[in-house]
Amino acid sequence: MGLTAARLLETLNRQWEKVEDRLNVSFEFFPPNSPEMADTLWQSVVKLAKFKPQFVSVTYGANRSTRDRTHAVIERLVQETDLTPVPHLTCIDASREEIADIVSRYRQLGVNHIVALRGDLPASATQTGGDFQYASDLVAFLRQQGVEKISVAAYPEVHPEARSARHDLDNLKRKVDAGATDIITQFFFDNCAFLRFRDRCRSAGIELPITPGILPVSNYRQVERFASGCGTRVPSWMGHLYEGLDDDPETRRLIGASLALEQVKLLINEGVADFHFYTLNRAELSYAICHALRLVGLPGRHAAPQLASV
Ligand SMILES: Cc1cc2nc3c(=O)[nH]c(=O)nc-3n(C[C@H](O)[C@H](O)[C@H](O)COP(=O)(O)OP(=O)(O)OC[C@H]3O[C@@H](n4cnc5c(N)ncnc54)[C@H](O)[C@@H]3O)c2cc1C
């Protein structure tokens, strides 16, 4: 290793040691659709709870049965853990009355933080089919309904439907002006794209916290598909790292954890202290990363959950 690279590594590790007690993480899960997947989810929740996340969020699906499952997971998190559960909510097919009802049911559970999204439009649709066409409309309505914390999505590499990066940023500003309280990004692998995006947000007067979404990659083929659908660029060097590993999940996991840890350390060096992990309901990679960041047993966070039935 050359001296410059060695210095860079040393700087990264020193920088991270300086801030390790200020790091915050959150974990995203999706509602399971089989008893086996439910087991995986709840085991992951228990394992990752050790890192005292700021919150754990649960995605919201395109059809009604999935939506009820989001509520069920949030309900169980409230009842059986000390974690802070945060449901996602979308505008797809949603009437004002339905959203008001969902908010009121969450309020009864003591949940007052929601990730507000438009949701992906069904194939060939140009409208949401509901009372809200954009996430900014939903944010304004949630505000009216008295929701205290509203996170919104942002796209460092631009949302695929946006007319331009400028329009996309204007849209983010609309969500902020409508009452969003923080921003979570789509996953990305190019840290420069995130840093440029953060600069552009600040220049546009967007001062809310911007939490990078980190996707530790164990299934490269699947991530290529996700990425092409959401406008995230997968660098070619990354593909090379997973070459020849289609039948070797263990090595893929090791590479995925190591890459994501590197990404997180580089971002810490740029002043980032909050990270949102897309777990895909599997704890292993996020666990390895958070463990390596020494996020265990830090004071002032929640207690670990006790899930009787897991
Ligand atoms: C952190 C995170 C969590 C997510 N969770 C879920 C989930 O649980 N369930 C799910 O289905 N999807 C989820 N998604 C995906 C998301 O729903 C899609 O990316 C969706 O296509 C856009 O949602 P949005 O909230 O960003 O939409 P919006 O902010 O409404 O933007 C959608 C598009 O419309 C454009 N736009 C916005 N306002 C206007 C306007 N007034 N005029 C013209 N153009 C406009 C934007 O530039 C953008 O191209 C998530 C994404 C992220 C980053």
Mean pLDDT of 245-263: 96
Q: Which range of residues forms the domain containing residue 18? A: 3-292
Counting atoms of ligand 1 from 1, which one is nearest the CA of 186? 53
Residue 306 banded pLDDT, cuts 50, 70, 90:
low
CATH (domain of 190): 3.20.20.220
Nearest-CA residue for ligand 1 atom 39 is 171
In 10 A of CB 74, how many CB atoms?
22
What does the pLDDT look like over 185-238, one tens digit per residue?
Answer: 999 999 999 999 999 999 999 999 999 999 999 999 999 999 999 999 999 999
Q: Does 128 fall in a domain?
A: yes
Give 112: exposed, middle or buried? Use CB within 10 Å, 0-12, 13-18, 19+: middle
What does the pLDDT look like over 149-172, one tens digit per residue?
Answer: 999 999 999 999 999 999 999 999
Domain count, the chain: 1
Q: Does 285 fall in a domain?
A: yes
The answer to pTM > 0.85 is: yes
Q: Does 50 fall in a domain?
A: yes
Measured in Å, residue 40 CA sits from the centre of ligand 1 at 28
- State whether the beta carbon of 128 lies less than 6 angstroms from ligand 1: no
Question: For a substitution probing ligand 1, which of 29, 93, 118 has the most ligand atoms within 8 Å of its CB?
Answer: 118
CA distance 73 to 85: 9
Q: Does 130 fall in a domain?
A: yes
Tokens representing 173? 């500003």
* Inter-helix orientation angle 249-269/191-203, to 10°: 40
Q: Does 78 fall in a domain?
A: yes
Active-site positions? 28
CA distance 293 to 291: 5
- CA distances for 297 relative to 19, 66, 197, 228, 264, angstroms: 15, 34, 33, 38, 20
Question: For a substitution probing ligand 1, which of 59, 66, 86, 134 has the most ligand atoms within 8 Å of its CB?
Answer: 134
Pairing between β-strand 55-58 and β-strand 182-187 as defined by DSSP bridges: unpaired
